Amino acid sequence: MPAPVDGNSLTIENTIAVARHGAAVELAGDAIARMNASRALIDRLAAGEAPIYAVNTGVGLLANVRIPRGDLDQLQRNVIRSHSAGVGDPLPREVVRAMMLIRANVLAKGFSGIRPVVAERLCDLLNHGVTPVVPSQGSVGASGDLAPLAHMALVLIGEGEAEWRGEILSGAEAMRRAGIEPLELHPKEGISLINGTQAMLAIGCLELDAADTVVDTADVICAMTLDALRGTPRAFDPRINEARPHPGQVETARRLRWLLDGSEIRQSHLGCGRVQDAYSLRCVPQVHGPVREALAEARRVFQIELNSATDNPLVFEDEILSGGNFHGESLAFQLDFLAVALAALAGISERRLDRLVNPALNEELPPFLAGKPGLESGLMMVQVSAASLIAENRVLAHPASPGSITTSGNKEDFVSMGMTSALKLQRVVRNTRAVLAMEVLAAVRGLDLLAPLKTSPALEQMRARIARVSPPIREDRPFYRDIAAIEALIASGELRAAAN
């Protein structure tokens, strides 16, 4: 059964199912009724003399220009064409699919004053695998993601470019092959396709899902590192963490206790006399925990936005009101916060990696975890690569949301830059996953060097899974293949399972 698009019940999980896994969708019956009701008001007012923004007037600073009645349909086509001014690499297919779904859901709320067929066509593109080619750059995040959404809408009217079954075609040809009729836009329908936050929100939902996997996996990797360094889990005692009961901190400490339970390595050094570990080990609940909480807040904001009316103007029972629901500031803040949080997660991971390989910080394992230090460099350069990604994350964590720049002849004089925040976040997530993969490589090597002692049963299972894609290190070899394979393993979610 196709999932209903009704304007009110879309979830992040639904969005991922459609965007990544091709789940089918259809416009709900109650949404059709609401859309028809608001459309009737637009038809009536468009035939009158009163000015209605983007229906019988120009857009932006040109809102004071009246459009003759015979040109109203042409106005909508012109809005789509002129706003298709994006540049840069195309957005990934899954992002565009998420963007189409979320936009269809916004229209289904019935506040946009457009015909149901517009949302139905977006559902058709999703169900038939037609994905518009959408450049990634060109949005300032208000009036929403105008350029990306315009490139999406361009395909609906049989123009632009689209991917269909692995081939890039003209929009008209992709629609023809998929058996979909191009839209003839009527008043209000062009502007209603492009006013909104759907590009930045699409990226946000997908990257939030990836980040959830990353933070869970980071707990697993940290536990491996702690045991490889013969650290103490005493800092994860529930009494300590419940004395400062931030939910993320308490949850991370609980997971670490579970992950390390039953470790032979831990039992072997209970009497060593070590009182405290370095912060990168001891303070993991206090660092990973806030990352969890940043993700939870982003999830709350994104979920609200999925079912919000972000069009302008909005159509109510007997009135059309202009407002600013297209402004992306609430999303931009969360996208920036996520980048900051994940940059910290990567940063503490790199510090743990350095403790594993650095002979000045760790006397119990060989320098750089090399079998023959000097003849072999071991994981020396792996830490250097991690350091480079940390440096890049620090730049990317600088927020875009305060950096408004005036557009549209100073009519749109404070914008969110939310799409810039979203694009930065994509790279921070990838970098963080790579740094964690590098820590995995070093942590597993450290555990191997402590044989025949074993870590906990939960972590031994993860070691066995890792060994399938990254065999035990016996001597120097090119490590880029190992890093890439472990990255893919992290992304798949297989390593997070140990902590649940």
Which sequence positions are flagged as catalytic? 53
* Alpha-carbon 499 to chain mean position: 22
Tell me the two tokens of residue 266.
Answer: 């831990």
Q: Which amino acid is at 122?
A: L
8 Å CB contact between 437 and 164: no
H helices of 231-283, in order, are 238-242, 247-260, 264-268, 279-282
* 372: three-class secondary structure by DSSP: coil
* Nearby residues of 135 by Cβ (< 8 Å), 6 or more positions away: 86, 87, 88, 89, 90, 91, 147, 148, 151
In the DSSP assignment, the letter for residue 472 is P
CA distance 422 to 114: 29
What is the chain's length? Answer: 500
Residue that has been written with the tokens 């001014």 in this structure: 85
> Contacts from 49-58 at CB under 8 Å and sequence distance 24+?
52/313, 52/320, 53/312, 53/313, 53/320, 53/322, 54/79, 54/188, 54/190, 54/191, 54/312, 54/313, 55/187, 55/188, 55/191, 56/187
Cis before residue 367, ω within 30 degrees of 0? no
**Rounded to an integer, what is the distance from CA 373 to the centroid of its chain?**
41
Strands (E), 320-426: 320-321
Burial 136-160 (b: 16+ CB within 10 A, else e): bebbbbbbbbbbbbbbbbbbbbbbb
**DSSP H or E run through 461:** helix 457-469
With a CB cutoff of 8 Å and minimum separation 6, the contacts of 116 are 27, 31, 32, 35, 36, 39
